[in-house]
Amino acid sequence: MSDTPNFAVVILAAGQGTRMRSDTHKVLHPIAGKALLMHLLDSVDRLGAEKRVVVVGKGRDQVEKALKGRDVSIAHQVEQKGTAHAVQQAQDALAGYEGAVLILYGDTPFVEPETLKRMLDRLDGGGGPGVVVLASTPDDPLKYGRIILGEGDHIAKMVEFKDATEEERTVRLCNSGMMALRSKDLFRWLDQVGNDNAAGEYYLPDVVNIAAAEGRDAVVIEGDPYETAGVNSRAELAHLELDWQRRRREQALQDGATLIDPESVWFAADTKLGRDVTVEPHVVFGPGVEVADGATIKAFSHIEGATIATKAVIGPFARLRPGAKIGEKAKVGNFVEVKKAVLGPARRPTTCPTSGMRTSARMRTSALERSPAITTVSASTIR
């Protein structure tokens, strides 16, 4: 998006994640085979962030390892004192930077680049607002903080659920926590945030009231509830996975693939399907799969790290593992496993007549070289 203003991103990933009941850091739990944090960073990269800062706390080593090789700065929140305190930890990483800053959350992975751009454009837009807040109206607002609107898109008040009155809790417009501000304002206002609240924490939304005291308005941009859905538990992770898969299936259908039973097909984040691909029920795509035009994936097949050429036929009950390359019009029959092997055009893998017995590499290689079409008889593994 070449017309996007220069901006930096601060991603908060310092939460304890206790409700996940896991030794894995919350933002590293996967949806569609990709960590929550990586989904978000990929969206940020598509928009073209100038600087990226991830604020971590407990589990810092895990996050740093996962981010190795990416253009990201790490800030450490030693004590978890609230979201405003967490953002403050990014100040050194943004020293000398005076542009716009997007504040995002590592456990809220699916905010769209277009929505982030709307936030940045509004920050530069009419009236010169001091803060732009991303909100949504979910079907069940649960315990999200509420946004009370004034005139137009201007915010009259923001309040955390636990501090809200019963009347304020009836408001359905919910605060996602994501904001856009200018760096020169952000850290100055954060210094003024107090912790006189039910939790004794320093809340990021308090900058709205601080900005208002200086005559700077806060405004709201409303997004899809899917974009603002966060993950705090295994159940929320599972529900968000279901939402992602549903959207990905719809996209596959729109792009020209046939899914016989869409709800039984599971995609990875990077699955690529060509046109006129047919996918039968109960197929699972792991990471790293490319399927060319006109191929057929039959029922109960599991595929990861494999490339499948035009009009190839896989399965049923086949497993393709990383390194498998299936050629044009080649066929991999039922109960066949292929790993780190190339199956040339219009050929089938050899199998042993005795179910479950694996043929030797020499036998398989020579057989594939000799015969243009070897019929699959029973279970086999090609490595």
Tell me the pLDDT tens digit for each residue of 256-303. 999 999 999 999 999 999 999 999 999 999 999 999 999 999 999 999
How confident is the model at residue 5, as a pLDDT?
73
Helices 206-213 and 183-190 pack at an angle, to 10 degrees, of: 100
Is 234 an active-site residue? no
Q: What is the set of domains in the chain, with CATH numbers?
A: 7-228 (3.90.550.10), 255-382 (2.160.10.10)
Tens digits of residue pLDDT in 30-39: 999 999 999 9
Please check whether residue 152 is in contact with residue 163, taking contact to mean a CB–CB distance below 8 angstroms.
no
Which residues of the chain register pLDDT less than 50?
352-378
pLDDT of residue 381: 64
Distance CA 160, CA 354 (A): 66
Q: One of 19, 169, 358, 383 is an active-site residue; which one?
A: 19
pTM, 2 dp: 0.88
pLDDT of residue 309: 98
Helical (H) or strand (E) element with 43: helix 36-47
Give the mean pLDDT of the chain: 89
209-222 pLDDT, tens digit each = 899 999 999 999 99
User: Given this model, what pLDDT does residue 318 score?
Assistant: 98
Alpha-carbon distance 232 to 217, whole Å? 31
DSSP 135-155: EE--SS-TTPPEEEE-STTBE
